[in-house]
Amino acid sequence: MECGSYRLLKKSSQCKARLGKVFTTRGVIDTPVFMPVGTNATVKGVANEYLHNSGAQIILANSYHLYLRPGTDIIEKAGGVQKFNSWDMPMLTDSGGFQIFSLNEIRKITEDGAEFQSHIDGSTHFFSPEKSMQVQKKIGADIIMCFDECTPYPSEYKDAKSSMELSLRWAKRCKDEFYKDNAFEKQALYGIIQGSVYNDLRKISAEEMVKMGFTGYAIGGLSVGEPKEDMHSVLENTVPLLPEDKARYLMGVGMPEDLWECVERGIDMFDCVIPTRNGRNGQVFTSCGKLNIRNAEFKEDFGPLDPECGCPTCKGYSKAYLNHLVRAQESLYLGLLSLHNIYFMINLMAKIRKSLENDTFLEAKKEFFKKYYERQLIVNS
């Protein structure tokens, strides 16, 4: 199978959700899938053996950050990012477009590419579509992404249109550069659909991307502050335009409730920093909803974070102890809470896949939401 290719196994009879597999040279990925984010080629505070044990199938790293530090030449000399970070399973790299977009005041976008200042030392750098491909080839992840411009929210229609058209031109250049050598034998290039919350722009972007022909397709520029209703509308209008035999990746979306809603609308792949970022801030996801472990209510709660979870944190530590660690600012909690949240997300996706196997997706979704929001309703009553 071609690296990054997708095989549809089963479609839900209830909605647009689907069960499938993505094939890479380092392993087969069951979808729908959540990808923990390891920006600097590490998932913050979580060692690889714990990631393996969680059931994580693929992790994401960012080419912008790795380009700046340690530098792509070092990663190439190590034999690629998986040799460098000792992760022997599939990886995906983001192109750096979103990070450059987020720099805002210290970057300049032109037709040629993006000039930006390093957030580390202020030095000036330039990423073109061609440079992004060269950087990601050196990093060596299994799936790499086109270099695009991520439109902020809100955006005027004319600005979103101009940005989307620029991303299309850059995508063509990315594809031309990617196929200059035999990188496609071990790597896959996914195109990114842009257009902000304007469905007519998304339609143009999707149709033009499909005409260009990529191994998979991502939907970018969402989860940047837009209302959930707008995100759902974009998916409902864009996903049906994408080929059934290609993976569909929604970039940067990862709240538990969003995973259900977006799988229902036909998405196969997700990534987000939320599980680890929120964990570092004391927030954990459980089968009974979100908890802020800092809260005083947990000072004498000697039960696990989630009695339904089998992660090392839940097996080994009580809420009272974790509350103490957070309040005392002991660094141990950073990894423990991040690890629990990753387990939760990975197990949630396994439940979703199981419901698709059994064709009971909507029933499983309803059951999850009822329990997930039950505690919140009690607290607010």
Q: Which residues of 152-171 are buried (b: 16+ CB within 10 A; e: fewer)?
A: bbebeeeebbebbbbbbebb
Beta strand pairing status for 5-11 and 18-24? antiparallel
Q: Report which of 313, 241, 378, 234 is spatially closest to residue 251, judged by C-alpha positions.
A: 234
Q: Which of 165, 225, 230, 239 is nearest to 198 (CA)?
A: 230
The catalytic position among 94, 148, 258, 306 is: 94
- Token look-up 């890479």 returns 24
What is the C-alpha R_g of the chain?
21
DSSP letters, 220-276, are -S-SSS--HHHHHHHHHHHGGGS-TTSEEEETT---HHHHHHHHHTT--EEEESHHH
For the record, the structure tokens of 213 come out as: 């022909």
Q: Does residue 245 have an active-site annotation? A: no
Largest interatomic CA distance in the chain: 62
Among 69, 71, 92, which Cα is nearest to 140's? 92
Bridge partners of residue 279, in order along the sequence:
none
DSSP secondary structure letter of residue 152: P
Instruction: Return d(Cα 174, Cα 131) in angstroms, integer.
Output: 9
186 contacts 142 by C-beta, under 8 angstroms: yes
Q: DSSP label at 125?
A: E
Among 142, 268, 271, 306, the one annotated catalytic: 271
Residue 19 to residue 7: CA distance in whole angstroms: 9
The 8-class DSSP code of residue 151 comes to P
Active site residue 142: no
**Closest to 243 (Cα-Cα) out of 204, 206, 189, 194:** 206
Closest CA to 39 of 67, 79, 78: 67
Active site residues per annotation? 94, 271
